[in-house]
Amino acid sequence: MTSKTISNGILRALAIVFGICLLFYFLWKIQSVIAYLTIAAVVALIGSPIVYFLRTTLKFPNLLAVIFTILLLLGLFAGIFVLFVPLLTEQGKNLSLLDIDALQQNIDSLYSEIIQYFGASPQSFNQLLQETDIEKNFLARLDVGFIPNFLNLFLETLSTASVGLFSVLFISFFFLKDRLLLEKGILAFVPKTNETKTKNSITKINGLLSRYFVGLLLQIFVLFVIYSITLLIVGIENAIVIAFLCALFNVIPYVGPIIGGLIMIVLTMTSNLGSDFSTVILPKAGYVFIGLAVGQVVDNFFSQPLIFSNSVKSHPLEIFLIIIIAGLLFGIVGMIVAIPGYTALKVILKEFLADNKLVKSLTRSL
């Protein structure tokens, strides 16, 4: 091997590394566009059954079916938007006029009542606080003055999302109108020898993920109904909005239900600030906890098995391990996309590596 060959190899390796770095940099710069394309693909998967129903059952022309589906999804989003924005605006006005010191005193009082209720006498509790400075450290850091600023920032972010919404709807329209558009884009990067297998993979993935996302919407709806009934019975203000928000957190596997449950319980307790802890706050929080437990039982034993068996077709233990691994590697986003990503990967492996023993065992149910 000559020095010229070695130098050419080194230069080629450096060029490849530089090209890969340049590609990742380019992808990072257009991450918003990639996000729009991904969300639009999900919207298209959700809307595909509606378009199919309109075209086959109601005999709608393809263009009219797509327009009706987009308007339906846009109306659903607008309904959610109308549900939240007036509430946030009203709360923002209230918080701008709020006596922060009075709110701080109410939270301090609730904190003291909780500690004393669970077994600490006032004398021993105060002595413990004086010795460890727990109250000083905890309550000094608990500054509720950030609430108005945070709400204003949230509303500003919400207003700038209109550009993203338009982009997603525009791309989704063409994905639904030309069902082969995404497929053609993928096939442009695939060798001709693998086009047939790629088409089969795309067809199977579309079918599985469409059922998965529709099932996910049904899962959220069931939890929303259970949570709404619970909060309305307890008498919590804005029960519908809180129930929808907490049901939406269920999209995040395993962690989401915990976050949603904590939000419901905390909002239940803070909405009754100033009331007696043992006779009002604690019983209402207990009823909400029971409603959460009922919702999770229904979700874990009925909704999720139905979704996984009819869509992703994977064993619960297999799903659990994939979600945990994705969460460790990519955080919350990884947990959300773990199931659809793993489903797509299984379909591709089965199509291209059908003779592999490991692939056969993993894709036996597909």
3-state SS assignment for residue 189: coil
Query: Does residue 109 or residue 337 have the better pLDDT?
Result: 337
SS3 percent helix, strand, coil of the chain, rounded to 5, is: 85, 0, 15
Query: Does residue 358 or residue 93 have the better pLDDT?
Result: 358
Q: In this structure, are residues 363 and 350 in contact, taking their beta carbons and an 8 Å threshold? A: yes
AA letter at 317: L
pLDDT (mean) for 105-119: 64
For residue 107, pLDDT beyond 80: no
For residue 198, pLDDT beyond 80: yes
Q: Is 160 exposed, middle or buried (0-12, 13-18, 19+ CB in 10 A)?
A: exposed
Q: What does the pLDDT read at residue 144?
A: 47
Q: What does the pLDDT read at residue 331?
A: 79
Residue 90's pLDDT band (cuts 50, 70, 90): low
pLDDT (mean) for 95-117: 60
Q: Which two tokens stand for residue 223?
A: 């939890």
pLDDT (mean) for 75-95: 66
For residue 222, pLDDT beyond 80: yes
Residue 246's pLDDT band (cuts 50, 70, 90): confident
Mean pLDDT value across the chain: 76
Residue with tokens 């604690």: 282
For residue 256, pLDDT beyond 60: yes
pLDDT digits (tens, 9 = 90+) for 141-154: 445 455 555 555 55
Cα angle 28, 29, 34 (rounded to 5 degrees) comes to 70
The 10 Å Cβ neighbour count of residue 226 is: 20
Q: What does the pLDDT read at residue 68?
A: 92
Residue 135's pLDDT band (cuts 50, 70, 90): very low
Determine which helix (DSSP H) or strand (DSSP E) holds 77, and give its type and residue range: helix 62-96
pLDDT (mean) for 104-109: 62
Q: What does the pLDDT read at residue 73?
A: 85
pLDDT (mean) for 179-200: 78
For residue 80, pLDDT beyond 50: yes
Domain residue extents for the chain: 29-179, 194-366
Query: Does residue 231 or residue 129 have the better pLDDT?
Result: 231
Please give the torsion angle defined by the CA atoms of residues 126, 127, 133 and 137, in that order, rounded to the nearest 10 degrees. Answer: -10
Determine which helix (DSSP H) or strand (DSSP E) holds 324, and give its type and residue range: helix 316-352
Cα angle 322, 363, 176 (rounded to 5 degrees) comes to 80
pLDDT digits (tens, 9 = 90+) for 280-333: 777 888 888 999 999 888 888 777 777 766 667 777 778 888 888 888 887 777
Indicate the angle between helix axes 122-132 and 100-117, nearest 10 degrees. 110
Q: In this structure, are residues 125 and 116 in contact, taking their beta carbons and an 8 Å threshold? A: yes
Please give the torsion angle defined by the CA atoms of residues 173, 178, 181 and 183, in that order, rounded to the nearest 10 degrees. Answer: 120
pLDDT (mean) for 359-364: 72
Residue 86's pLDDT band (cuts 50, 70, 90): low
Q: Which of 65-69, 233-237, 271-275, 311-315 has the highest mean pLDDT?
A: 65-69
Q: In this structure, are residues 210 and 279 in contact, taking their beta carbons and an 8 Å threshold? A: no
CA dist 253 and 250 (Å) reads 6
Residue 99 is classified by DSSP as -
